[in-house]
Amino acid sequence: MTSPVTDAGFEALLEYLKRRRSFDFTGYKRSTLSRRVEKRMSMVDVATHADYVDFLEVHPEEFEQLFNTILINVTSFFRDPEAWEALTRDVVPALAERSGGGPIRVWSAGCASGQETYTLVMALAEALGHDAFRERVKVYATDLDDEALGQARSAVYSAKEMEGLPDELRARYFEPGPDDTAVFRGDLRRHVIFGRHDLVQDAPISHLDLLVCRNTLMYFNAEVQSRILARFHFALNTDGILFLGKAEMMRTHAGLFAPVNLKARLFAKIARTHLRERLVMMGQASEPPAQRDGLHARLRDAALAAGPAAQVVVDPRGALVLANDPARRLFDLSEADVGRPIQDLKLSYRPLDLRSRMDLALAEGRAVAVTGVEHPGPDGEPRTFDVQITPLLSGGRSALGVSIAFVDVTRSQRLQSELEGTNQELETAYEELQSTNEELETTNEELQSTIEELETTNEELQSTNEELETMNEELQSTNEELETINDELRRRTEELNTVNAYMSSILTSLRVGVVVIDRELRVRVWNRKAEDLWGLRADEVDGHPVLNLDIGLPMDGLKATIRAALDGRVEPHEVVLDATNRRGRAIRCRVTGTPLTTKDREVRGAILLMEEWTGDGHAA
């Protein structure tokens, strides 16, 4: 188990990344995140998280390598073919028909290097036809990894990355690229907009018909998953479809999405029409947990409690924060008006001057009521309203804003009478229902206990499944890295074998004896001519000190030549010695010594050239 000290160091590292590079990884699953960080730490030979923070301070280029390690970009074309087949069979045709010839908006969230996005483009183009696709479809593809987005924008893929893609689709949608690569068609690629997007912090793309986010949610903890799914619900149109990965489920979010094809992880949005539910959902989608008790959350709760009639809420700066459905219909307000100063809206002066009364309510800290205000209703008929301007105060009595409620009192008397009769009937019905409810209560408690046990088991299984899928993707990523390294080693080995073959051929063809020694005077090369001169094979002298060799050449005479070469003298140093060759014949042998240097001019040894000397200035 990880020690508390290590936990504190890891949390400090996450806080450092958030502060320095605005990457908030605190919502990721700790087990997965810890494995990825420790993998990168081992690669740079750092032992503790605190030391790794120091390393990042000194080497800012390490941030990019760390983010590439954490953001696992494992993807492929038509990954999980059965799920894509279900999407093209059950969703895409209905999507095309349901839009009635209008535009189709699609978001590929967590697109990595683009294979999933272009798979989506091919599926839509096959169903709609290429001309209709270009006229109607707009695809938004986002990811947190800038390097992966760069590859996705280029749309260039290697032969290995194209494996598994059917030949007919490859022929229709890809063009030949440089170095045996393939490039996705430019006329269709122009309808895809790539951009950097953080699912945890950034606002979602809205008015979507289809949202694809596969094998991304499983990296986040349950709390962050809930916030992201609430944002997805907000982003989709009423009949929008959400497409998830095979390890991602919806068991704890049944109120947001209903399964269309559970095996393929296709879900339909469940429309939410109640005002309070929409506000709570928007709050979950837009605010992190640390801010849900902040100003806007308290402002929405206070506004909802202020009254059920047509209601608007204005913040202390005079900007419109909320208008419920009755208020929008009554004063012709739209979503675009939220956030605008109220002084720019007709509502500020019609049917009454609101600004002065808002100032009065805020200044005195009390509600201001105006009765008998005439204003046409949504149907154009004259109506009378009581206007209640209520300051919304926090626990410290500071002003959060103002709630303005318009209560329709035109038919209040008649409705009051009807309400009393209805209440009497309801009271009788309630007494009858109370008896039934008491009988059902016991059964409900037993069922609830069983449901809770099943939900707990399902959540544990789901968590285990997500963890296994994450580890599988990590292993796949590591395997791809090892394959790349293996290919590079194989290529370099082949090059080295070729160079060795050239060297062996050159040394064999030379008509002089060649002996290469290192700085410890040990023999490293002994060519064929040297064998002919002195009668020793290369394997007999390899690694032996040259001055200790028992050959017909007096080694004491070579010391000056060898010393001159090891000292790095550029000019060759020659010496002619009396010697006896392997046949026992006395010869004169000329030995030339030159330094063996690297490209940086570092002396690594010496090269000795030996040839029989005739005495007339020529070799024998």
The verdict on 344 and 252 lying in the same domain is no
For residue 3, what pLDDT band results from cuts at 50, 70 and 90? very low
The verdict on 268 and 219 lying in the same domain is yes
SS3 390: strand
- The per-residue pLDDT for range 311-360, each reduced to its tens digit, is 888 988 888 888 888 888 888 888 778 888 888 888 888 888 888 888 88
The verdict on 102 and 149 lying in the same domain is yes
Specify the pLDDT at position 21: 66
For residue 258, what pLDDT band results from cuts at 50, 70 and 90? confident
Selected residue with higher pLDDT from 501 and 87: 87
Residue 618 covered by a domain: no
The verdict on 55 and 144 lying in the same domain is no
For residue 521, what pLDDT band results from cuts at 50, 70 and 90? very high
Which residues, 6+ apart, have CB-to-CB distance to 105 below 8 Å?
138, 140, 205, 207, 208, 209, 210
Q: Which of 208, 131, 215, 119 is nearest to 164 (CA)?
A: 119
Specify the pLDDT at position 396: 58
Question: By percentage, how much of the chain surpasses pLDDT 70?
Answer: 88
Q: Number of folded domains in the chain? A: 4
Specify the pLDDT at position 212: 93
Specify the pLDDT at position 273: 47
- The per-residue pLDDT for range 440-456, each reduced to its tens digit, is 877 888 888 888 888 88
SS3 609: strand
For residue 4, what pLDDT band results from cuts at 50, 70 and 90? very low
Specify the pLDDT at position 254: 61
The pLDDT of residue 554 is above 50: yes
Last residue of a domain, one of 42, 70, 98: 70
Last residue of a domain, one of 370, 391, 410: 410
Residue 241 covered by a domain: yes
Specify the pLDDT at position 275: 43
The verdict on 135 and 10 lying in the same domain is no
The verdict on 271 and 302 lying in the same domain is no
The verdict on 542 and 561 lying in the same domain is yes
Residue 458 covered by a domain: no
CATH code for the domain in which residue 603 is found = 3.30.450.20
For residue 304, what pLDDT band results from cuts at 50, 70 and 90? low
The pLDDT of residue 31 is above 80: no
The verdict on 100 and 181 lying in the same domain is yes
CATH code for the domain in which residue 64 is found = 1.10.155
Q: What is the mean pLDDT of the chain?
A: 82
For residue 276, what pLDDT band results from cuts at 50, 70 and 90? very low
The verdict on 236 and 117 lying in the same domain is yes
The verdict on 33 and 85 lying in the same domain is no
Q: Which stretches of 128-235 are assigned E, i.e. beta strand?
A: 137-143, 156-157, 174-176, 182-184, 192-196, 208-213
For residue 141, what pLDDT band results from cuts at 50, 70 and 90? very high
The pLDDT of residue 299 is above 70: no
Selected residue with higher pLDDT from 27 and 195: 195
pTM (predicted TM-score): 0.51
Residue 164 covered by a domain: yes
Instruction: Count Cβ atoms within 10 A of the Cβ of residue 154 and give its class: 0-12 exposed, 13-18 middle, 19 or more buried.
Output: middle
Residue 196 covered by a domain: yes
Instruction: Count Cβ atoms within 10 A of the Cβ of residue 99 and give its class: 0-12 exposed, 13-18 middle, 19 or more buried.
Output: middle
The verdict on 347 and 269 lying in the same domain is no
Last residue of a domain, one of 50, 70, 90: 70
Q: Which domain holds residue 570?
A: 508-613
CATH code for the domain in which residue 142 is found = 3.40.50.150
